[in-house]
Structure 1
Amino acid sequence: MNASKPALRRSLKSDLARVDAHVVKQGEYDDLPELTDDMLARAKVKRGGRPVSENPRKLLSIRLPVDVIERWKATGPGWQTRMADRLSKVR
């Protein structure tokens, strides 16, 4: 890493100053159809993000011996899910 070079800023790759300076003219939106009640009735709102889980998880803080954690970690990726599955079977 070269500390003498400044880090590059992320860019939106659009000219926001030009967009902000644009003034909407009278006939610019004449081609767009009028918004009707039928159009609004057919509209669907799509929410972003992950879907709601049927079996949501709850954050819990628990202290376990280091050797227990290391044995689970040694089983590879997904060890926390496998641990949760094993604990859910012990009822």
Structure 2
Amino acid sequence: MHKIMTEEERKVHRARIQRAIDSITPEEDAALTKAALDDPDTVLITSLTKRRPGRPIAAAPKMPVSIRLSPDVLDYYRSTGPGWQSRIDETLRKAAGLKKNA
């Protein structure tokens, strides 16, 4: 079980970590970087996203918006289960005469 640190303990902990980072020489940093890149188990992270693991990255990601809908319309789509927001998107695309997303 982890002990919950106080704000003062967090500050001391962060300062200790920063001192350790600052004490690394450029040569040590280069050696550590090379060792990590040479390790076959290393996974290079090139970007961080909020997407859920296993979900594909969309070519044209949907944009979060706020929209006011009639209660009966909202109730209808929510009652259709998970994916109701995508079904609203499909209905709006059809109404606007837009092609279906791939």
Measured against the shorter chain, the TM-score band is: 0.3 to 0.5
Choose 1 or 2 for highest CA Rg.
1
TM-score (norm 2): 0.42
Point out the structure with the larger helix share. Answer: 2
Whose RCO is larger (CA < 8 A, sep 6+)?
1
TM-score (norm 1): 0.45
